């Protein structure tokens, strides 16, 4: 087995049997020496702000509106969760927060 760490390749000779433990160690070795190569997180999953938006029907109730890095919003109210999230629409809480944050 020839390990080329600069090219991050392993050359196995024909018929060579490699233990899974060795393979795991190799993977760890290769991942350890390339810091900062983690893929950029998907901007649609990165929350950049959270807002509390009050429920109109129940004033003790507050919903959490989240703003994501790609500038889409989600809300945890039933209207959004059940209806809007499917068609990418905005509930009134998101609309309120959206205009407040502009």
Q: Catalog residues that contact Zn ion under the rule CB under 5 A.
A: 63, 75, 77, 80, 91, 93
Q: Which is nearer to Zn ion, 10 or 81 (CB)?
A: 81
Largest CA distance in the chain: 72
Closer to Zn ion by CB, 11 or 89: give it.
89
Q: Give least dist CB 68 to Zn ion, A.
A: 15
Tokens of 93: 């809480």
Minimum Å gap between C-beta 72 and Zn ion is 14
Looking at beta carbons only, is 26 or 55 nearer to Zn ion? 55
In angstroms, give the least distance from the CB of 20 to Zn ion: 49
Contact by Cβ (8 Å): 79, 55 = no
Helix or strand or coil: residue 67?
strand
What backbone phi and psi angles, to 5 degrees, belong to 75? -140, 155
Q: Is 63 helix (H, G, I), strand (E, B) or coil?
A: strand
Q: Least CB distance from residue 63 to Zn ion, whole Å?
A: 5
């Amino acid at each position: 087995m020839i390990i080329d760490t600069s090219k991050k390749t392993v050359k196995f000779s024909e018929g060579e049997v490699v233990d899974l433990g060795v393979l795991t160690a190799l993977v760890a070795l290769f991942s350890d020496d390339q810091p900062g190569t983690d893929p950029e997180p998907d901007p649609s999953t990165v929350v950049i702000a959270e807002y509390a938006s009050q429920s109109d029907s129940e004033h003790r109730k507050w919903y959490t509106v989240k703003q994501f890095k790609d500038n889409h919003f989600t809300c945890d109210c039933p209207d959004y969760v059940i209806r809007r999230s499917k068609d990418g629409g905005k509930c009134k809480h998101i609309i309120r927060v959206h205009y407040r944050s502009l």
